[in-house]
Structure 1
Amino acid sequence: MPKIANLSILASFLGLWLTSFLKNETQIIVGFILILSFGIVHGANDLLLIRKIKGENTITYWRILINYITIVLTAVLLFSFIPWLAMFLFIIVSSYHFGEQHWNKKRLYSNPLMIKLFQTIYGLFILLLLFNFHEKEVLDIMHGITGIELSFINILLLLKLIGFILVALSFYNYNTSKVFQKNSAIELLYLLVFAIIFKVGSLIWAFAIYFIFWHSIPSLIDQIEFLYGEVSTTNFKSYLKSAFIYWLISIVGIIVLYFILKEYKIFDSIFFSFLAAITFPHVIVIERMFITRNNKTE
């Protein structure tokens, strides 16, 4: 079992242990703090990653910044005028992003489309597993974002359907990849860990545990290795230093939104819409990072 996975499991069960001591309101506060710290930071160095991928001589800083902001603003407009479509795209894109991060170092020797499909289905299964244990809260947040009553959605049925597809794709990968065969047992253990976390914790707390310890921190490690060649205290400090201004801008924006909207009971919806808007360009950048890294190692 990889060292980072050992730490993630340890941190997850520490989070579950804290669940018995923390009130639901406290879990929400601590969960938001984790998301706003490591969660936002892990996506705050996208411009630096693009520079590394494209090279300083082929693209300027301002062109990178303008393109990035354009994607974010497009996502904001989509959430403003076609929120149901934006929500659907956010779930699919996030699913792919979570799956890609989880499987990026576990080479699946298949054609690229099959790999992307498997990663998307895996990430979607994780999200639906979380949604299933917190169905009412999730549907309320989606209703707040889209303005559409979504009580007709049967999340358990969707979970079973996606689970069936995941099993079918897993059999395919098991027969085509020795790496997948080697990791299949431990991957089942991870899914069991996720199910326990999602069932026991509140929605925000459970999401924060998964998002931080199973996604954001592993992503930070991958980004630092890509940018600086190795993970070290010095390189971690360099990463935080370059990310600080973008992290600060994000935090200030969220704080302003909170004080404007705290009386309207829609902050959760706006918060997740904000996360969605900055997720779209981030997913593109991380995918390019993995492609560039893998091309160099082949």
Structure 2
Amino acid sequence: MFKIMSKLYNYIIVLNFFLVWIGFYLPEQIKTSIGLLGILSIGLIHGSNDIFLIKNIQRQQSILKYIFYYSLFIISFAVAFYLIPIVSLPVFILASAYHFGEQHWQKAFLKAPNYIKQLFFICYGNLVIGMILYFNQVESTTIIENLSGFVVNESIYLFNILVSLIITSISFILCAKKINSKASTIVLNIFYLLLFTATFYVSDLIWSFALYFVLWHSLPSLKDQIDFSFGSINFQNLLMYLKQSFVYWLISIIGLIVFYFLLKDTKYILSILFAFIASVTIPHVFVVKKMFEKKAST
């Protein structure tokens, strides 16, 4: 499994360099369209198999019950995002941060204490998100203001990065002896952070988010989900995963298209996109957390 994941990350590194390079030559509109296509295809479909993941985790329950509660969760958060965005937006960012950190580091932290592990996941993920926002402050501030009415000062972006980096480093040191990771792996992950920094520095908001979300998060997550659901990663199991996910993915896309045609003449398209992603992300974070706990216990 580790060899497969290592090989996958080698491909991701090459793709990252290639897409950053080609991004210099693509017209802005085409680059944005490609980025959104990646987010709405690979990025969105990696979270479209949650119902079947839950069924595999809790085998005795009915799938209709899962669909009901999962849909209720999404609708409830969407309503909360509309009514109290100043609260819902930070919740979404922290949940996404935890999700990113868990996906990247959960294999190394299997034996680490839960409270330190969870703190590390949140701060590491928030460091990545913070860099995306910091290097794209104008676009980020506009979206945050449209969603919540709150105007983020430039110093807040930098403060967020520094605090996340400090807490990430401290929490890593506190449980270093229990981390299942060699020195070479630590060096490699420092390289990843430097690569993220360079990528976000030279890319706009959508391109930065798409590169990280699709390449560094969604592809490894797809690999883990297929491995958990079907026992191994191969072409046939990939097709089975896509078949299971297709209906839920299609429903999500149709919902987003309806929003687009209703609001396409406004300035809030990107804000609507991020609000939509937020609504489907929150329950997905809990499902994947349960999946990793189930894998660790077996």
CA contact (8 A) 1:45 1:239 kept: yes
CA displacement at 1:279 relative to structure 2: 0.3
Distance 1:151 1:110 in 2: 36
CA contact (8 A) 1:108 1:179 kept: no
Determine the structure 2 residue equivalent to 1:186.
188
Of residues 148, 161, 169, the one that matches 1:159 is 161
Deviations 1:209-268 (A, max 9, x none): 110110001000000000100111111001101111111111111111111111111011
CA contact (8 A) 1:27 1:205 kept: yes
Determine the structure 2 residue equivalent to 1:170.
172
CA displacement at 1:200 relative to structure 2: 1.0
Distance 2:201 2:253 in 1: 29
Aligned length: 294
Of residues 120, 140, 143, the one that matches 1:141 is 143
Determine the structure 1 residue equivalent to 2:109.
107
Distance 1:246 1:175 in 2: 42
Alignment of 1:1-298 (within 5 A): 2-55=6-59, 58-151=60-153, 154-177=156-179, 179=181, 181-296=183-298
CA displacement at 1:190 relative to structure 2: 0.3
CA displacement at 1:153 relative to structure 2: 5.6
CA displacement at 1:149 relative to structure 2: 2.8
Distance 2:112 2:249 in 1: 37
TM-score (norm 1): 0.95
Structure 2 alignment gaps of length 5 or more = none
TM-score (norm 2): 0.95
Q: Which segment drifts farther, 82-91 or 148-157? A: 148-157
Amino acid paired to 1:118: F
CA displacement at 1:108 relative to structure 2: 4.9
CA contact (8 A) 2:109 2:180 kept: no
Q: Percent identity?
A: 34
Amino acid paired to 1:26: I
CA contact (8 A) 2:137 2:154 kept: no
Q: Which segment drifts farther, 113-122 or 20-29? A: 20-29
CA displacement at 1:183 relative to structure 2: 1.7
Aligned partner of residue 153 in structure 2, secondary structure: coil
CA displacement at 1:61 relative to structure 2: 1.4
Over the aligned positions, Cα root-mean-square deviation in angstroms equals 1.4
